[in-house]
Amino acid sequence: MERNLSQQEIDALISQLRAGELDTEVEAEEDVVPYDFRRADRISREQMRALERVVQSWARSVASSLATLTRQEAQLQLAALQQLPFGEFRRSLPNPSVLVVYTLKPLDGSMVVQLEPGVALALYDRLCGGPGERGEDRELTDVELSVLGAQIFREMGRRMEAAWSEFMSLEVAYARVETNPVYLNLLYDQDTVLVASFHLDLETGSESLSLGLAFDDLDNLLASLSSEFAMKSRRQATAREQAAWAQHLGRVAAPVEVILGRATLTMADLVSLSVGDVVPLQTGPDGTIEVVVGGQVKFRGTPGRVGNHTAVLITGPARQGASEYAG
């Protein structure tokens, strides 16, 4: 509750103030960082791992394609993968740029690959048989764009389809090329876009390349991606468990016995047996005998010798009905 000061208390405060005994410094307010709810991460760690797998697969495939098409060593290494508002991503793109736009069906999304014009011209020069030296950052001609589109840009789209095939069927269609980021109107500025930054290493030097994945219906995509990733992870875990069990079981010793034959004797015949008597066995004329593994009749075989050792040649599985050995 608020309380009014008495005159005596007021006089005491004034005296302390004049004597310098009263601390008049005002505590500095703590810096408060505003939280932008539009920047809230919409993609979970699990989903980011699945998306990173897609992006890494695409990068390896594109590097292999560039190496084949331009007859030089090429590597495309992922430097960063992050989610940004589309407006921030667009403002980060240099002007001029080579912005290759693709449509993604049936997700109603878009993909954009960003190259500096000099890098695109170096690839064009290499396609035409030149040394592939980096060109100046200028606007590309229609002929240059046509050659790059047919040889490289469309192939990048096909490689993205293959990368997504692990999770879903996706149609990536080469749409157009923009040179000014201002005209890159794929989403609203506050919408989330997945941005991957790469180092493109060619024989002529190291360059940068960016990839943006923008989806109108991001929530449904992420839900589907999480489900597919979880199922795949479970399948992989099951496969690992099976391999581990196979490895452990492979070291277990199993007793193997070979039954040369069987015979049935009356008690009178049994008590009258003596040295030199011959007991006929029920083994067939083909000489096939039973091979018992762990108390179960599993195979048929033929007796023989290997060097100085008695052996059996496995000729097939056990006959139907021959299961447990009662010996």
CATH number, domain with residue 206: 3.40.1550.10
Same domain flag for 177 and 67: yes
- Stretch 106-124: mean pLDDT: 89
Same domain flag for 153 and 201: yes
Task: Look at residue 322 in the predicted model and tell me its pLDDT.
Answer: 61
Provide the domain limits for residue 156. 41-236
pLDDT over 70 for what percent of the chain?
78
Among left, alpha and beta (phi > 0; psi -120 to 50; other), residue 55 is alpha
* Residue 18: pLDDT over 50: yes
Task: Look at residue 161 in the predicted model and tell me its pLDDT.
Answer: 92
Which structure tokens are listed for 284? 């067939």
Domain boundary among 202, 236, 270: 236
- Closest listed residue to residue 288, CA positions, set 317, 263, 320: 317
Same domain flag for 258 and 227: no
Residues 3-13: tens digit of each pLDDT:
677 777 777 77
* DSSP state letter for 294: T
In a domain, 273, yes or no: no
In a domain, 15, yes or no: no
Same domain flag for 227 and 258: no
Same domain flag for 211 and 296: no
Q: Average pLDDT, whole number, for the chain?
A: 81
In a domain, 241, yes or no: no
In a domain, 274, yes or no: no
Q: Where are the beta strands (DSSP E) in the chain?
A: 74-85, 98-105, 109-115, 171-178, 192-202, 205-215, 256-259, 289-293, 296-306, 309-317
Environment class of 184 (CB within 10 Å of its CB; exposed 0-12, middle 13-18, buried 19+):
buried
Token pair 């990839």: residue: 211
Same domain flag for 293 and 213: no
Same domain flag for 230 and 288: no
Same domain flag for 227 and 298: no
Domain total for the chain? 2
Q: Which amino acid is at 300?
A: R
Same domain flag for 258 and 231: no
Same domain flag for 100 and 131: yes
In a domain, 13, yes or no: no
Gap between the Cα atoms of 118 and 207, Å rounded: 10
How far is residue 228 CA from its own chain's centroid?
Answer: 11
- Closest listed residue to residue 180, CA positions, set 232, 230, 129, 112: 112
Same domain flag for 291 and 232: no
- Closest listed residue to residue 77, CA positions, set 209, 208, 199: 199
Same domain flag for 213 and 304: no
* Residue 323: pLDDT over 70: no
